[in-house]
Amino acid sequence: MKKPEILAPAGNLEKLKMALIYGADAVYMGGKAFGLRAFSDNFDQDDLREGIDFAHSLGKKSYITINIFPHNDDLAGLPDYIKDVAAMGADAIIVSDLGVFRIARQVAPALPIHISTQANSTNWSTAQFWQELGASRIVLARELSLDDIRLIRQKVDIELEAFVHGAMCMSYSGRCLISNYLTGRDANRGECAQPCRWKYHLMEESRPGVYLPVLEDERGTYIFNSKDLCLLNHLPELVESGLNSFKIEGRMKSVHYVATVVKVYREAIDSYASSPSDFRIKQGWLDELQKVSHREYTTGFYFNKTTEQDQIYTSSSYTQTHDFVGLVKEYNPATGMAVIEQRNNMKVGEEIEIMQPGQENFLQTISAMFNADGTPIEVAPHPQQIVTMPVSRPVAPYAMLRRPETRRGRP
C-alpha cells in the first residue's frame, strides 16, 4: 500500500523543523500576507526560502498558503509573490479563490495548486471541476463523511487531502462572519478573533445592560465552541478510503503540540503499513495526544452528522497532562551531558520525560544542572536559558523535555 502523506502545520521556522524531524512528510506554511493565519508568526521571504530548502534537504515537501478571499486591494502584490514562491522551489500553493487560481496559472504555470478546504469542496462534481481546471490536489471540506470521501475518490483522479486532527471551526468550511461582525477582523482575510470561543450572555432589547446568562453552568455557555478533531482510532478506515494526505491543524499551536501529534501519527501509519491485519491502536499513542494542549476530542462529520455531543458548552479552555520544559540543542556522548534550551521553569530533583524523534520516551530525574559558565544551579527560571545536565541515555537534537502538568483548564 502507498502510505498517505502526513502534512503538518508550520507556524514558524522552528515549528517547521520540528514537524519534519518528528516524521511529517510535508508542511504547510504562510508568508506575511495572503494566508488565513495572520496572527501566527508566519514567514518572511528569507524564512520561506530557508524552510523550503530545509524540507527539500530531508526529501520532504513544503506547501505555501495563499488562501485568503482577496478584495481588489489584496491583488496588488500577489503576482510577484506567487512568482517568488515558485522561484524558491515551493512544492505547491494552497488557494481558495478562483481569481488567485487564475493569477497563479498566468504567472507560474508549472507551480502545482492545491484547493483549500476554504473552497468548500463537498461533492464529486466540484472535485471534477477542479481537476479539469488543472488543480493537483483538493483539501476536502471538513463537513464530509467517510462515505462521501470514498465516493469522491471513485469519481476523480486527483490527490485528496483531509483534516484528521486538530481544532474545528464551527462555521461551514471555516467561512465565518462572526469575527468581522463583532470585532471588524475578517476571518476570511486571516484575522479571526475566535469569537466562537467566547462566553455569551443574552440581553433583552428593552433592558440594556441587564445580562441574562444562558446557563450550562455557573460560568456561562460557549454556544459555538467545537471539540477538537481526532481520528487516530479510525486510521485504517482513513487509509483505505483513498486519501492521499492526512492534514494536522495547528499553525498557531506550540512546537510541543506539533512534534507530539506528528510523532503519534507517524508511528501509527508506519505500524499499519507494516502489517495491516495485525494493526491495533496503542494506548500509548492515545496517552500522547492527551499530553498536548487540546479540547475534548470528536470524530467530526466522518461517521455521523454532528450533534450537541460534538460541542463544548461549559468552557473554552484547553486541557493537557504535560508541560514542555526544555529542548535539546546538543549531546556529548563522551560525557553523557546534554545542552538544553529552557522553555519552562525547571529545577534539580524533578522527574521529567524525554521525547525524541523515532525513539521511545524515557523518564529522567534532573540530578544536576549547570549554567552557561559551568556553575551548578538548582533552578533554571529564565526563558530560553541555556543549561547543561546529565542524561541517562543518548539524546538527539530537538529532543523535548516535559513534566506532568499540575494546572488544568488553562486558556
Q: Tell whether the model's pLDDT for residue 167 goes beyond 60.
A: yes
Whether pLDDT at 219 is above 50: no
Domain ranges of the chain: 5-170+227-306, 322-404
Taking only the tens place, the pLDDT of each residue in 269-287 is 999 999 999 999 999 999 9
CB atoms within 10 A of CB 392: 12
Band of pLDDT at residue 203, cut at 50, 70 and 90: low
pLDDT at position 305 is 75
Q: Which residue has the higher pLDDT, 95 or 210?
A: 95
User: How many angstroms separate the CA atoms of 335 and 368, rounded?
Assistant: 14
- The three three-digit cell numbers of residue 166, written as one number: 486538530
User: Chain-centre distance of CA 174, in angstroms?
Assistant: 15
**Which cell numbers in the block locate residue 384?**
530560553
Say how far residue 205 (Cα) sits from the centre of its chain: 41
- 224's CB contacts (< 8 A; 6+ apart) are 170, 178, 195, 196, 197, 311
d(C-alpha 104, C-alpha 116), whole Å: 14
Q: Is 384 helix (H, G, I), strand (E, B) or coil?
A: coil
322-404: same fold as 5-170+227-306?
no
Percent of the chain's residues with pLDDT above 90? 68
3-class DSSP state for residue 212? strand
* Structure-block grid coordinates of residue 271: 505500524
Q: How far apart are CA 236 and CA 248, in angstroms?
A: 17
8 Å CB contact between 368 and 389: yes
Q: What is the pLDDT of residue 314?
A: 57
Comparing 209 with 60, the larger pLDDT belongs to 60
Mean pLDDT confidence for 216-239: 76
Residue 219 phi, psi (nearest 5)? -95, -5
Phi and psi at 92, nearest 5°, equal: -175, 160
Domain 5-170+227-306 adopts which CATH fold? TIM Barrel (3.20.20)
Alpha helix (H) ranges present in 59-123?
78-88, 98-107
Superfamily of domain 322-404: Translation factors (2.40.30.10)
Q: How far is CA 400 from CA 51, 165, 371, in A?
A: 21, 21, 19
| Cβ neighbours of residue 164 closer than 8 Å, sequence gap 6 or more | 229, 231, 232, 238, 246, 247, 248, 265
The answer to whether 398 and 327 are in contact (CB under 8 A) is yes
Q: What would the mean pLDDT of 257-261 be, rounded to a whole number?
A: 96
pLDDT for 399 beyond 60: yes
pLDDT at 168: 75
Read out DSSP for 165-222? EE---SSGGG---HHHHHHS--GGGT----GGGS-BEEE-TTSTT-EEE--SBTTBB-
Q: How far apart are CA 251 and CA 11, in angstroms?
A: 4
Backbone angles phi, psi at 294, to 5 degrees: -160, 165
Q: Which residue has the higher pLDDT, 203 or 337?
A: 337
Mean model confidence pLDDT for the chain = 87
Choose between 201 and 340: higher pLDDT: 340
Least reliable range by pLDDT among 175-179, 223-227, 313-317, 333-337: 313-317
Q: How far apart are CA 249 and CA 282, in angstroms?
A: 22
204/208 Cα distance (integer angstroms): 7
Q: Could you give the C-alpha distances from 97 to 21, 75, 103, 151, 231, in angstroms and in order?
A: 32, 11, 10, 25, 28
Average pLDDT over residues 371-389: 95
| Cell numbers that stand for 163 in this block | 483534516
Q: What's the 3-state SS for 283-310?
A: HHHHHHHHHCCECCEECCCCCCCCCHHH
Question: When comparing pLDDT for 318 and 231, which is higher?
Answer: 231
pLDDT band at 47 (very low <50, low <70, confident <90, very high): very high
Give the pLDDT band of residue 307 (cuts 50, 70, 90): low
**Least confident residue range of 85-94, 243-252, 334-343:** 243-252
Q: Which residues are CB-contacts of 282 (< 8 A; sequence separation ≥ 6)? A: 268, 271
pLDDT of the residue at 232:
97
- pLDDT surpasses 50 at 408: no
- pLDDT bin (cut points 50, 70, 90) of residue 295 is confident
